[in-house]
Amino acid sequence: MSDRNITALVTGASAGLGAEFCRQLADRCDVIIAVARRAKPMQALAKELQGKAEVHVVEADLISIEGVARVMEVIRQKGPLGYLINNAGFSTLGDFEGELIDSQHAMVSLHINATLSLCRAAIPFMREMGGGNIVNVSSIGAFTPYPGVAVYSATKAFLNSFSESLQAELAGSGIAVQALCPGYTRTEIHDTPTMDRFDKAVIPEKYWMEVEEVVAASLLGLENGQLIVVPGEGNLKMAKKSLQKQLDAL
Ligand SMILES: NC(=O)c1ccc[n+]([C@@H]2O[C@H](COP(=O)([O-])OP(=O)(O)OC[C@H]3O[C@@H](n4cnc5c(N)ncnc54)[C@H](OP(=O)(O)O)[C@@H]3O)[C@@H](O)[C@H]2O)c1
């Protein structure tokens, strides 16, 4: 598939990995549709990328049905996407019993329902075009269901399983699907009120990655047809160890 005249839609484009996806995709795409709740940082990104790609800012809360419907409509109007990056997300730290159930439902809506809806909206156009790329931003947490992240890890495990089945269903369509499973990456996600119990300092320096390297690994993975991408040697080792533990427990 030629990378010219290509449109990308990136959710969670106002910060972190989403903003970096926009930056790196600007080298490959002509139009980027940036989706998040906060317009200001996306407008700043549009300015920054001027001359490289045309950035359309779409304000939408993807926890709400209306927000998701607005973005689905944008996809219908814009036609085929070369890239759909389902990245918007948040995390919480605390035992399932102690967390607000509304916040856990919201996480399921954002990580799972929004991803499913945007895939449904985008895939028919991609099929018609004969190709496209879908990245579902998961997490290494998909492999490591530790206490304190029960719903977060479960939503990410869903994304891995969903991506795997979807890729198989789309075989021969030219559409590539990827579940991107980053480990600790320096973004705003650890500084939100829902993560106030998380102490970044306890995570050794060697485990942290930068958004640039995570997004580069994802785009390289798409080129290589890699379905599950775990950026970083240490993270890959950790994911494999956890999978082995799960196998041993069978
Ligand atoms: N950073 C890590 O260590 C790490 C590790 C593994 C996986 N991940 C995954 O990477 C993805 C991106 O996270 P990040 O680390 O880049 O975090 P981030 O810097 O906090 O960015 C999160 C993005 O999601 C958007 N978002 C949150 N709630 C939303 C909603 N209701 N509707 C629309 N957009 C919403 C935010 O925009 P607004 O606030 O403007 O809406 C923001 O643009 C997430 O899916 C996360 O689970 C991150």
Q: Is 204 a domain residue?
A: yes
Q: Which atom of ligand 1 is nearest to the CA of 42?
A: 40
Q: What is the pLDDT of residues 44-89, one digit of tens each?
A: 999 999 999 999 999 999 999 999 999 999 999 998 999 999 999 9
Domain with residue 26: its CATH number is 3.40.50.720
204 pLDDT tier (thresholds 50, 70, 90)? confident
The H or E element containing residue 243 is helix 233-248
pLDDT at 4: 56
117 close to 68: Cβ distance less than 8 angstroms: yes
Total number of domains constituting the chain:
1
Taking 50 as the threshold, does the pLDDT of residue 223 lie above it? yes
Q: Any idea what DSSP says for residue 12?
A: S
Packed helices 39-48 and 16-25: angle between N→C axes, nearest 10 degrees: 30
The H or E element containing residue 244 is helix 233-248
Q: Is 2 a domain residue?
A: no
* Pocket (CB within 6 angstroms of ligand 1): 11-18, 36-38, 61-63, 87-91, 110, 137, 139, 182, 184-185, 187-189
Q: Which structure tokens are listed for 23? A: 């930056």
Q: Is 67 a domain residue?
A: yes
Q: Is 29 a domain residue?
A: yes
- Measure 148 CA to ligand 1 centroid, in angstroms: 18
- Structural domain containing residue 119: 7-248
- Measure 135 CA to ligand 1 centroid, in angstroms: 14
pTM of the model: 0.97
- Measure 160 CA to ligand 1 centroid, in angstroms: 17
Strand arrangement, sheet containing 132-137:
54-59, 31-36, 7-11, 83-86, 132-137, 175-180, 228-229
Q: Is 1 a domain residue?
A: no
